[in-house]
Amino acid sequence: MPPSPSWLHPNPNGLFCEPGGFYIDPARPVSRALITHGHSDHARSGHDAYLATSETVEVMKLRLGPNHNYQSTRYHETHNINGVTVRFIPAGHILGSAQILLEWQGQRIVASGDYKRSLDPTCAPFEPVACDVFITEATFALPVFCHEPADKEVARLIISIAQNPDRNHLLGVYGLGKAQRIIALLRQQGFTHTIWLHGALVELCKLYERLGVKLGDVRPVSEADAKTLKGELVLCPPSATHDRWAAKFGNAITSFASGWMRVRARARQRGAELPLIISDHADWPQLLQTIEDVEAPEIWVTHGREDALVHQLALMGRKARALALIGFEDEAE
Amino acid sequence: MDRFAELLNRLSTCAERNGKLKLLSSYFREAPDPDRGLALAVLTDNLPVSFPMRRVLADLIPRRADPVLYKLSRDYVGDTAETVALIWKPEPRVRWNDLSLNAILTHFQSAKPKDMADILETALDNLDANGRFALLKFLGGALRVGVSARLAKTALAQAYGVDVGIIEEVWHALTPPYAALFTWLEGAGPKPDAGEAPFYRPVMLAHAIEDNDWQNFAPHEIAAEWKWDGIRVQIASTGTEAKLFSRQGDDISATFPEIIQAFAKTRGVLDGELLVRRDGAIQPFNQLQQRLNRKTVTAKMRAQYPAHVRLYDILYDDKTDVRALTFDARRQRLENWFTREQPAYADLSSLVPVESFEALRALWSTTRHEGIEGLMLKRRASPYLAGRPKGHWFKWKRAPLTMDCVLIYAQRGAGRRASLHSDFTFGCWKGAELVPVGKAYFGFTDAELKQLDKFIRENTVERFGPVRVVKPELVLEVAFDAVNASNRHKSGVAMRFPRIHRIRWDKPAQEADKLETLIGLIDKN
């Protein structure tokens, strides 16, 4: 077996490409950062220079402020950074999300960031790229995580809304990606009704619309008289479903959309009366499928349940190691 | 199976009683026969056969899952049935066309023990994740979705607009999958013959006495009894069979076999308090707690915590319904009945003389021992009425004990209180340290709850999941009925029925009570 490439390795700042002199999704301020996607544990403030897809740059402008040194790229565009060839490949996680393909001295490494293989009308689908080393996330790396088809879960939500004309639905979702994906899936299934938004989701939905993702009739719930709302769907950040803010919607059905909802105890802890198993991360079958697809002899495993995936990879005859990267929220989704 | 699986799925995340009732009643109305009857059987703990789940799974899991991955998964999920349901990758070699609950169970019914694992394997291969979970829970015999037998019957009654009392009355005459019951409820058949077996009747409950109640009766119109700190039970017996029911109508006969044995040959329906009585003395409530909620009971448990029923009313004297009679007439019947039948593990609740309310009050305020919670006052002229009718029975709980404690943790409530911190843990001083001594959920007004919530938000120092650690500054005057020694709590004591009595915004935390004071209040029997 050839020795593991050593030109890309973790250090206290994050995942460092030595010949390129840049980091991928670094946790601490660095001079040059390549960002896979806009979630806050990947796209952080304080770097001297950023390179990301144009959609991710738009997200960062909104969340980190417009005055950083951002450089945009299209998918598949080739960049040469100090002799390292860099390309951004769709990862299917959220709008603008990318795997970062690095080539140096004939070796290919793909840092996939977060990814999924399932239906998402709001972003380009994951593209497998053959490589020597594939770096995978492990958020849902246990064989119990086999997410339901997202359209099936959304159909359950539509049925529940129809069955409860006297109660509002409060759906807890992450504001970037999950919210817009669910809205788009609802629209695909012919749900044309107004969807109300908690203030924290408004700007991100506007951004998606500006970038060409149609969300239909979405409005800030602050424009409505909460007391008169009945049988309506309100999207909010997960923490808000049990906050004081939620009280004004009366005896609402609290729902939460996340891959964690696969496990009933987690749904109960969340207090989700209608848990929806919708994830923007690869589930176990998708992780294994992807590892087959990229044909990489060596797999590096990051944030999540590394132990189970490393064990499974050994069973599959792959060389596997857990990369101890800091700063990623493996529980967040 | 889909319908039943969806029901379990929804029940497992529904915390409200009304929500559960709604889910259950629409299931009973809409699900096909005999599946709904089988569901009713498992919900009421009436499954005819028990399935050797542990043995079968030990055989089956290694066939289909890597042991390391299974263990990592089981540790994460925390429930065997759910882990198996989720980890299972269906590879159906045999397709079953009929996936109703009944059809699936039929495969097991005729099987030899050695074939059970093969059949379960095929069944799991034919189902989706929710179906697999539902089947495993069903076969395990305990759904664990917070639905009691009584709640299931109440939902059934609601589904068809009948009184739950009628369901109880015919219940014993029915067997799973309850075809005759559903046919009758849907108006397509006769009412099942209730026959002879004992069943539950709704009990009569008391109101807490209020200051202006006293003017409505004179001492001679009132009978008084000690209020015993046990659980309310009903014993129904026909001369050949006896059953013991909780206040809610759940059949708890299996948990207290000595009571069933003692009453088996008697005839009637009696009302009383279930207690633990050892060496002639009533024991504190936490000893009774050791015996509650057990499906089977060992000889050791029986010897250590002997059950006892203190009888205080009679609903049926043999086959005669005496509920319309006055308290005095029923009391006479009860005394005669007791003299005649003489059941073991039972005695009569004695009447406390009521010469004047002043004398009664003196007695009430000085008696604090042996599981007495206070006094019950019953109008001598009142009939036995189901539910909680006003103006007939009054509970007069002895003045509670109180302690000044310091709020240390808070957690958000559920349901109506979902957005507010309404679940409070408080502590007492042990030297310079505050040790938790109890938890309270009520005793405050809505306005006070909002103030408490605000205090908690502004004084949170740390969070562990849903629990907030609060700066130890707020003194709560906590009322409680008794203190028992307990090895379940770090402090070594457990309060009985603690509630917030007053919020002492004015009092510095350093002046709150000491743990040793609380220990000094432990009931000594």
B391 and B369 within one domain = yes
Does B33 reside within a domain? yes
Task: Pick B445 or A31 by higher pLDDT.
Answer: A31
Query: Which tens digits make up the pLDDT trace of A269-310?
Result: 778 899 999 999 999 999 999 999 999 999 999 988 889 999
In this structure, are B411 and B462 located in the same domain?
A: yes
Residue B279: CB partners within 8 Å, gap ≥ 6? none
Q: Does A165 touch chain B (CB under 8 A)?
A: no
Residue A2 pLDDT more than 70?
no
> What integer pLDDT is reported at residue B194 of this predicted model?
74
Contacts of B149 (CB under 8 A, 6+ apart): B43, B44, B45, B249, B250, B251
pLDDT of the residue at B368: 64
Distance CA B259, CA B422 (A): 39
What pLDDT, in 10s, does the model give residues A74-94? 999 999 999 999 999 999 999
The verdict on B368 and B230 lying in the same domain is yes
Domain total of chain B: 3
Contact B72 A246 (CB under 8 A): no
CA separation, residue B365 to residues B71, B368, B525 (Å): 58, 8, 19
**Residues from B in contact with A at Cβ < 8 Å:** 12-15, 19, 65-66, 68-70, 72-73, 76-79, 82-83, 86-87, 89, 129, 412, 414, 416, 418-420, 453, 465-466
Residues B337, B245 share a domain: yes
Region of residue B375 (phi > 0: left; psi between -120 and 50: alpha; otherwise: beta) = beta
Asked whether residue B36 is domain-assigned, the answer is yes
In angstroms, the separation between the Cα of residue B60 and the nearest Cα of chain A is 17
Across the interface, do B420 and A269 touch by the CB < 8 Å criterion? Answer: no
Residues B407 and B393 in one domain: no
Pairing of strands B460-464, A319-322: unpaired
Contact B87 A243 (CB under 8 A): no
| pLDDT < 50: residue spans in chain B | 415, 525
Q: Write down the H helix ranges in B95-243.
A: 101-109, 116-126, 129-140, 149-159, 164-171, 179-185
B285 phi and psi angles, rounded to 5 deg = -55, -35
Whole-number Å distance between alpha carbons of B55 and B45: 21
Task: Write down the ipTM of this complex.
Answer: 0.92
- Rg of the Cα trace of chain A? 20
Residue that the structure tokens 């605000």 belong to:
B454
- Both B222 and B282 in one domain: the answer is yes
Same domain, B324 and B420: no
Structural domains in chain A, sorted by start: 8-144+281-322 (3.60.15.10), 150-276 (3.40.50.12650)
- Chain A hits for B76, Cβ within 8 Å: 142, 144, 263, 305
Residue B151 domain flag = no
CA distance A129 to A89: 8
Choosing from B397, B424, B453, the residue where a domain stops is B397
| Rounded Cα distance, A87 and A99, in Å | 8
Task: Give the other-Cβ count within 10 Å of B87's Cβ.
Answer: 24
CB A102 within 8 A of CB A8: yes
- Residue B313 belongs to some domain of the structure: yes
Residue at a domain's end among B120, B140, B160: B140
CATH of the domain at B436: 2.40.50.140
Comparing CA positions, the residue from A186, A142, A176 lying closest to residue A276 is A186
**Length of chain B, please?**
525
Phi first, then psi, for residue B340 (nearest 5°) are -75, -45
Query: Would an 8 Å CB–CB cutoff place A275 in contact with chain B?
Result: yes
Rounded to whole angstroms, the Cα distance separating A273 from A156 reads: 12
Q: Is residue B227 annotated as a catalytic residue, yes or no?
A: yes
pLDDT, average across residues A5-33: 95
Residue at B379 is within a domain: yes
Instruction: Please give the single-letter amino acid code of residue A43.
Output: A
* B23 and B103 co-located in one domain: yes
- Taking all residues of chain A, what is their mean pLDDT, rounded to a whole number? 94
Are both B308 and B446 inside the same structural domain? no
Is residue B416 domain-resident? Answer: yes
B331 and B406 part of one domain? no
Question: How many helices (DSSP H) and strands (DSSP E) are in chain A?
Answer: 7, 19
Contact criterion met (CB < 8 Å) for A308 and B69? yes
Share of chain A above pLDDT 70, in %: 97
Residues B415 and B372 in one domain: no
Measured between alpha carbons, how far is A305 from A210 in angstroms, rounded to an integer?
Answer: 36
**CATH code for position B284:** 3.30.470.30
Side-chain-side CA neighbours of residue A64 (13 Å): 25
Shared domain check, B221 and B365: yes
DSSP string, B204-244: B--EEP-GGGGGG--GGGEEEEEEESSEEEEEEEESS-EEE
Range of the domain at B85: 2-140
The answer to whether position B181 is within a domain reads no
Asked, for residue B231, whether it belongs to a domain, the answer is yes
Q: Which of B96, B119, B140 marks a domain boundary?
A: B140
**What's the token pair of residue B347?**
């005695």
Separation CA B285–CA B272 (nearest Å)? 15
CA quadruple A56, A58, A59, A65: dihedral positive or negative? positive
Say yes or no to pLDDT of A331 above 70. Answer: no
Q: What is the reported pLDDT for B523? A: 62
